[in-house]
Amino acid sequence: MTSTRGRFLVVGIGPGDPELITRKAERLIGAAPVVAFHAGVRKESHARRIAADLIPAEAIEEELRYPVTTGATDHPGGYVGALADFYDECEARLAAHLDAGRDVVLLAEGDPLFYGSSMYLVDRFRDRFDVEVVPGVPAFAAATATVPAPLVRQNDVLTVLPGTLPEAELARRLADTDAAVIMKLGRTFPAVRSALAQAGRLDGALYVERASQPEETWLPVAEVDPAAVPYFSLIVVPGDSARPATPARMRTGALAPETVSEENPAAAELLVIGLGPGPDGWLTPEASAALAEVDHVVGYAPYVNRVPQRAGLQRHASGNTVEVDRARFALDLALRGERVAVVSGGDAGVFGMAAAVFEAAADPAHPEHAGVPVRVLPGVSAVQAVAARAGAPIGADFAVVSLSDRLKPWAVVERRLRAIAEADLVLGIYNPASRSRREQVVAMQKTLLEHRSPDTVVVVGRDVGRAEESLTVTTLGALETDSIDMKCLLIVGASTTRVEPDGTVWTPRWVD
């Protein structure tokens, strides 16, 4: 950078109270030859109003007025196009000052890099000019102080959420965190309030409007008039609201021990539910009705995340290789009379959690689990979903095998592959490969080619039922194993499996 060029200084000026402007921000604004600030459509600039007394009388002021905020626009590129042109214009105007050797101070409400508009100009200028960002007090910090309520204690997790998230996603995230701050309200408030209720977090959630400003106000979210919520408002969900306050917690911040309902000490029925491969439409009505009645959902995190959140539902997510541990946890809950569902993707009985639950229940080291009644609710399996997309490749006898050797030796897998190939069965292959397990799919192809023609039909389904879905019809000899991962399910046809001119794959029910 040459010394003749100006510096681009993005200065956080806090949530509204001029006294919350930092000393560094005050110094830089007071010495600025150029002061820039954003302004809403037909509105006074809040940023300029906050820092008005600090702007030098001789400073050049650059008002960056948005062409649109949330309203409609006649720009041919729509909202995105209008904003892109706006930032192009802002960049050109401010770059002219910087190229002329004048420092530019851009005022940013709250903290510049916390949902701030200034970050888009930082992105544009960081490789061209000397850029410095001065942090400011974020709005949620002022809101928490306004209430006042402890936001997080000890090991509490704080999640900051935009109110523009889909309602179901917002409810899920609220249920899964200790404390939360929800920004970007205004027109989103009704959906945000509903999400709080679904997550069981409405009680204790606090609405704060214009924090630190003369007009600031706060009240419980349940008492807010949705029609009167401005954009400059947010919601604070303190970590304390996630669990009852106790004297020990208030004294030391220690979490109260988890409590389990003792209203029904008799073991409750444990449900094991298949959620299907992904789309909501593939969840069975039986499964949906059951999930609406339970108080706990246990499972691998991506599957737990698919269960709609509602008030009273507790979610217990865990990793991908602790199936028996999560089964024991669910059995313990059911043993205490809690209504529990263990969830799996696809069908819970096809390489899912059903077998893990029965394995845990039969463990002689935990004889108490043997008395828990278990009921499995079926779901659409991944092999069914891929087969349906392809046509009817499993219309005749077929087998399914998992290539994972985590729970069985590879020699067993290989022996089964040979037997299936020799029997000329259609073969569905689960867990074909992962980032750390690449050799098995190569060995599978080699083993099958010892007994099958290279022209044997192979269907590769990836993310079937999801937005990224793809379906490839190839042959056993031409299968590109490098492209296979855990998102794929393979169907290897029998010698009779056919591919029609339109790409439909099917296997005749008869054998000559």
The partner residues of 315 in beta bridges, in order of sequence, read 297
pLDDT above 80 (res 486): yes
What pLDDT is attached to residue 243? 59
Of all helices (H) and strands (E), which one includes residue 462? strand 457-462
Q: Which residue has the higher pLDDT, 215 or 106?
A: 106
DSSP 446: H
Q: Using one digit for the tens of pLDDT, what is the confidence trace for 455-470?
A: 999 999 999 999 899 9
What pLDDT is attached to residue 253? 31
Of 229, 233, 240, 50, whose CA–CA distance to 146 is shortest? 233
Cα(445)–Cα(481) distance, integer angstroms: 8
What pLDDT is attached to residue 408? 93
Positions of CATH 3.40.1010.10 in the chain: 7-136, 270-377
Query: What is the CB-side half-sphere exposure of residue 95 using CA atoms within 13 A?
Result: 14
- Topology annotation, domain 141-242: 3.30.950
**Beta strand ranges found along 143-240 (DSSP E):** 158-162, 179-183, 206-209, 217-220, 233-237
What pLDDT is attached to residue 251? 29
Mean pLDDT of 239-261: 43
pLDDT above 70 (res 3): no
> Which tokens go with 496?
């009779």
Distances (CA, A) of 274 to 244, 303, 375, 488: 33, 10, 11, 19
Cα(446)–Cα(319) distance, integer angstroms: 32
Mean pLDDT of 355-361: 96
CB of 103 closer than 8 Å to CB of 9: yes
What pLDDT is attached to residue 148? 86
Q: What's the predicted TM-score (pTM) here? A: 0.73
Cα(389)–Cα(233) distance, integer angstroms: 47
pLDDT band of residue 260 (cuts 50, 70, 90) is very low
End-to-end CA distance of the chain: 80
Of all helices (H) and strands (E), which one includes residue 144? helix 139-146
What pLDDT is attached to residue 71? 62
**Residue showing tokens 């409810």:** 171
- Angle ∠(197,199,202) on CA atoms, nearest 5: 40
What pLDDT is attached to residue 223? 95
Burial class of residue 228 (count of CB atoms within 10 Å of its CB; 0-12, 13-18, 19+)? exposed
Cα(43)–Cα(457) distance, integer angstroms: 65
Cα(401)–Cα(396) distance, integer angstroms: 16
Ramachandran assignment for 390, one of left (phi > 0), alpha (psi -120 to 50 degrees), beta (any other): alpha
For domain 7-136, give the CATH superfamily: Tetrapyrrole methylase, N-terminal domain (3.40.1010.10)
Mean pLDDT of 208-217: 92
pLDDT above 60 (res 259): no
Mean pLDDT of 64-87: 83
Q: Which residue has the higher pLDDT, 227 or 255?
A: 227
Of 132, 130, 34, whose CA–CA distance to 90 is shortest? 34
Cα(347)–Cα(366) distance, integer angstroms: 26
Q: Using one digit for the tens of pLDDT, what is the confidence trace for 407-448?
A: 899 999 999 999 999 999 999 999 998 887 889 999 999 999
337 Cβ contact list (under 8 Å, min separation 6): 261, 262, 263, 264, 265, 266, 267, 268
What pLDDT is attached to residue 261? 42
What pLDDT is attached to residue 406? 87
Q: 383-506 sits in which CATH class?
A: alpha beta
Go through the chain and tell me how many residues it has.
Answer: 512
The 3-state secondary structure of 237-304 reads ECHHHHCCCCHHHHHHCCCCCCCCCCCCCCCCCEEEEECECCCHHHCCHHHHHHHCCCCEEEEEHHHH
pLDDT above 80 (res 256): no
Q: Using one digit for the tens of pLDDT, what is the confidence trace for 323-341?
A: 999 999 999 999 999 999 9
**Beta strand ranges found along 147-263 (DSSP E):** 158-162, 179-183, 206-209, 217-220, 233-237
Distances (CA, A) of 411 to 414, 426, 437, 451, 505: 5, 21, 15, 17, 31
pLDDT above 90 (res 501): yes
What pLDDT is attached to residue 279? 87
What CATH number was assigned to the domain covering residues 270-377? 3.40.1010.10
Positions of CATH 3.30.950.10 in the chain: 141-242, 383-506
